[in-house]
Amino acid sequence: MALFIQISPATAEEHHDNNRPVAIAFTKWVTTFPLMEGFWGGDLANKFVGEVFQRQVSQRQADNCYLPAPNCGRIIRLEALYEVQNGDHSFTALIRGGTSGDTGAALLDGTVLFGWRVGAPVHVEFQTIPGTTGCAGAPLGATCFQGTIHVGSAPRD
């Protein structure tokens, strides 16, 4: 059993949890590939931006799957830059991992390279939501992605 507590980076600082891990819920979509935008913490004013550096689809094909062709039964390797904008607690992370073409679930890991908590490990989980279903706050008809960015403790000097 896991306990999930959503906390913004600003809230962590306000409660003197200066270096405790935080979990940031987000919603994103692709604007013009390779660029992404969205929001975090359930508030459209909290800006998220990103860029896909690499997207490579495996050659394996399946008969039944969650997503429509051409990703059916495939693994999609991803490398991306995620930026969470939050004043003094803004950060940019480089992440790598992949998405299941069958389920739309993704797992990525990386490191904060700029801003708040430089050097901290980052773990991202998200689910692909088809454009026919959509996400609140995303453009109508756009495939969107909802998930969580887990930011670990920054390394000690």
Per residue in 137-155, pLDDT tens?
999 999 999 999 999 999 9
Comparing CA positions, the residue from 145, 54, 152 lying closest to residue 111 is 152
In a domain, 60, yes or no: yes
In a domain, 120, yes or no: yes
Contacts of 38 (CB under 8 A, 6+ apart): 26, 27, 28, 29, 48, 49, 50, 137, 138, 144, 145
Q: Could you read off the pLDDT of 21-36 as tens digits, one per residue?
A: 999 999 999 999 999 9
In a domain, 27, yes or no: yes
pTM for the structure as a whole = 0.84
In a domain, 17, yes or no: no
Number of domains in the chain: 1
In a domain, 28, yes or no: yes
In a domain, 8, yes or no: no
Q: What range defines the domain where residue 37 resides?
A: 23-151
In a domain, 2, yes or no: no
In a domain, 77, yes or no: yes
